[in-house]
Chains A and B, each alone.
Chain A
Amino acid sequence: MKVLMCTDGEGYAEDAIRFGGRLAKAMNADVSILHVRPPISPRNRVLLTTARKKLGEWNLEIPGVDSLIRAKEILTEIGLTKTAPLKEEKVSRAFRVDVHGATELHLIGLRGEMVRLRLREGHPVNEILEEADFGDYDLVIIGSRGHKGYSTHFVGSTALRVSDLAACSVLIAKNIKAENTFLLCTDGSRLAERAEIIGAEIAQKMGAKMTILSVAEGEENKEEAMQLTRRADMILSQLGVNAEQKTRVGRPSEEIIDEAKDHDIVVMGASGSSAVKKFFLGSTPLKVIEYGECPVLVVREKRGKISLQGTN
């Protein structure tokens, strides 16, 4: 399993990395940490590269590298990596920039996990998606500020857009604190089933309790919803996970957000809606991410391969 964590150096991103580190440790996953620097005009790329080389001569790093090193320290605190604190000289060498401004540093984890620190340049959403695609990751973990600014309504926050557009599963680590209880949302779709299997696996590895939730849109659908939770429970028990079952009546996104207050992480399948439908109606996962105050794991099936399977 390969996990990509994104940081912009702010506090909420650090919480996301802390969680990602624990997850990677539990799942024995390879980890990459990505920081995206704002783009610069290609006109001055040559001189900017010169200036950055000079920074190297002064043994100085640019702020993006600061964030990456901070993230690496967090991983060490968690006990994922065992490398000694990087010495001044080693950092400047490891982070020597190439012509395209992309830099990378490798570390080896305690149990052989790979940790890579990546620095990219450009628009955050595009670069995160490109890195996720290029590195063939199974899961992207991205922090979110946790409150809605007016800008999210117009352009959508980076986290929201990544969760919508990524080809792999995405975890929006908004207000993430612990991972003791998982809330698994099912609607009977194929992706929901996928989410059940993956959610169960992660919950099991991380030693968390599991609740299955299904939301009926009206009283008349309640029986159907209960059947869905029972089916999910069957899948889970096959995997050796015990779960509590719950059914609610109402609008799915609102009910999920309400129920999530008692849980640490929401797991749900990505919406299968077409782009047009999503544009006009919005999808349930997107609404939960946008209006909820909880971390959400949106599960997707990657084309051509079974995603998110633990390596052992």
Chain B
Amino acid sequence: MTLFSKLLEKKWIFIAFAVGGFLLSMPTPEGLSPRGMRTLALLVVVFIFFVTEPIPLPGVALFIAISEVLLGLAKPSVVAQSFMSDSVFFIMGSLMIATALVKQNLDKRIALAIVGITGPRADRIILGLVVVSGLLASFIGEHTVAAMMMPVGVALIKYTHDDWRKIRNLSVAILLSIAYGAMIAGAGTPSGGARNAIMLAYWQEMFDLRISYFEWITFAYPMLLVSAPIISFVLYRTFKPEVTDLSPAVAALKEKVAKSGKMSQKEWLTIIIFLFTVLMWMTISDTIGLGITALIGALLFLTMGIVKWEDLNNNVNWGTILIYGGAISLGIMMKRTGVAEWLSHSFLTWLEPTGIRSGLPLLAVMSFITILMAMVMSSGATVGILGPITLNIASLSGTSVIAAGFITVISSSFCFLTAVASPACNIIYGSGYLKKSDFLKAGWKLIILSFIVIQLISVGYWRLLGH
């Protein structure tokens, strides 16, 4: 009985292998090499694993490496190389820097700064939370910001009313503004999320395109700037907070922060090193690489004693690095074995009857598919699997590869609907103040609006930039 239920729990492993085995036994379709067919089978199995998670995700990364060698797709040393690149260094360094930042008590300062600017009105505070979470997340990643800002949100709720159940709508609006603000900004700069690094790796590996940190910002930041007011407006209108004047909470918060004294030397040093790293990213990272720049920042934090190695060891999610290494490796194999091109070609042929061949309608379709995929699996995995295909579709159809890449990355962050789809929502949900259904209430509106906004940006703004 127990053995049976355990096997049932792992059913997706068997289903995935059955599907993979079936694909391997099928005759190779026209235009695809036998090696390509094996890559396609691996891709399907990995896709099922990413969606159903019968094994922990870092385990899937190990599975990718093992299968690539066993299926004869590449030599062991080539597989190992495809796992580690400057992009993976970049993910690793950014996670370390984020850990060092979280360790400090900067959340209290940030809270004070927000209420200082917005004043006690609830709608302004919500806008302030969206904007500040967004600004921070665009540099240090959505999950870090969610962890840093969650206590700020909870403090505002608690200081407003002792029993949070009496101010449920306000609680939901405040906490979701942090999560959604951080999520939408994940694509703001390359260091905002690991999926951005994946896209950079694909551009470079597949099309030899190099996008600098600064170029990325000019492309992606408008999305954040336009979305922030929309998110705060939708949240405010959807949840209609019971209390609109948070003066007592703001006063209590100010008093609380005043108690913790002035900013320490260590906190100042943290900010200086962080700004220095961002400055390096914007200036010299074109020559020395984003990854190496991130490592310099991380090393500075370690050297100055701001963060101990034990902290990094315990608080950096090393599994994430492995997952992204695996995703990039699989993407590179898809390109090398011709699977990406074959899939893109099939997709375009399939799309032909609808009359969508290139340009903006094609980008809209890509955006739509990305949003759907990001709902069932993590945004990093979505970009990892979908990236090679969308880029190839763009290149085959004569659409801008850059625009296709950005639309994939940005659309992958529109997972507003569930508590599990994105790390930021997951962490905010972990505060215990939200119900799963709260995410649905405002989420569907935001998905539609964000979809429209990104299409408008691609029609107008990116056109102006020449893509």
Q: Chain A interface (Cβ within 8 Å of chain B)?
A: 37-38, 40-44, 46-48, 50-52, 54-55, 57-58, 60, 62-64, 66
Q: Within B221-261, which residues are at the interface with A (CB < 8 Å)?
A: 256
Q: A55 touching B151 by the CB < 8 A rule?
A: yes
Instruction: For residue A92, give the distance in angstroms from its CB to the closest CB of chain B.
Output: 12
B-side contacts of A40, CB under 8 Å = 426-427, 429-430
Q: A64 touching B144 by the CB < 8 A rule?
A: no
What are the 7 closest A-B residue pairs judged by CB atoms, nearest first?
A51-B147, A47-B147, A54-B151, A63-B432, A48-B430, A40-B430, A62-B432
Q: B158 touching A60 by the CB < 8 A rule?
A: yes
B-side contacts of A55, CB under 8 Å = 150-151, 154
Q: CA separation between A202 and B109, bound complex, in Å?
A: 56
CB nearest to B107 among chain A residues: A54
21 cross-chain CB contacts under 8 A: A37-B432, A38-B432, A40-B430, A43-B317, A44-B426, A44-B427, A44-B430, A46-B316, A47-B143, A47-B315, A48-B427, A50-B315, A51-B151, A51-B427, A55-B154, A58-B108, A58-B256, A60-B154, A60-B158, A62-B431, A62-B432
Q: CA separation between A47 and B146, bound complex, in Å?
A: 9
Q: CA separation between A47 and B103, bound complex, in Å?
A: 11
Q: CA separation between A281 and B364, bound complex, in Å?
A: 54
Most buried by B among A46, A55, A64, A66: A46
Q: CA separation between A267 and B86, bound complex, in Å?
A: 68
Main SS class of interface, A: helix
With known contacts A54-B107, A62-B432, A47–B151 Cβ distance under 8 A: no
Q: A57 touching B423 by the CB < 8 A rule?
A: no
B-side contacts of A66, CB under 8 Å = 163-164
Instruction: For residue B152, give the distance in angstroms from its CB to the closest CB of chain A.
Output: 8
Q: CA separation between A46 and B320, bound complex, in Å?
A: 12
Q: B154 touching A58 by the CB < 8 A rule?
A: yes
Q: A51 touching B57 by the CB < 8 A rule?
A: no
Q: CA separation between A66 and B155, bound complex, in Å?
A: 14
Most buried by A among B102, B151, B420: B151
Q: B430 touching A51 by the CB < 8 A rule?
A: yes
Q: B427 touching A47 by the CB < 8 A rule?
A: yes
B433 interfacial by beta-carbon distance below 8 Å: yes
Q: CA separation between A275 and B27, bound complex, in Å?
A: 48
Residue interface bits B265-309, CB-to-A below 8 A is 1, else 0:
000000000000000000000000000000000000000000000
Q: A50 touching B147 by the CB < 8 A rule?
A: yes
Q: CA separation between A266 and B420, bound complex, in Å?
A: 42
Instruction: For residue A34, give the distance in angstroms from its CB to the closest CB of chain B.
Output: 15
A-side contacts of B76, CB under 8 Å = none
Q: CA separation between A281 and B268, bound complex, in Å?
A: 69
B314 interfacial by beta-carbon distance below 8 Å: yes
B199 interfacial by beta-carbon distance below 8 Å: no
Q: A54 touching B432 by the CB < 8 A rule?
A: no
A-side contacts of B34, CB under 8 Å = none
B72 interfacial by beta-carbon distance below 8 Å: no
Q: CA separation between A7 and B164, bound complex, in Å?
A: 17
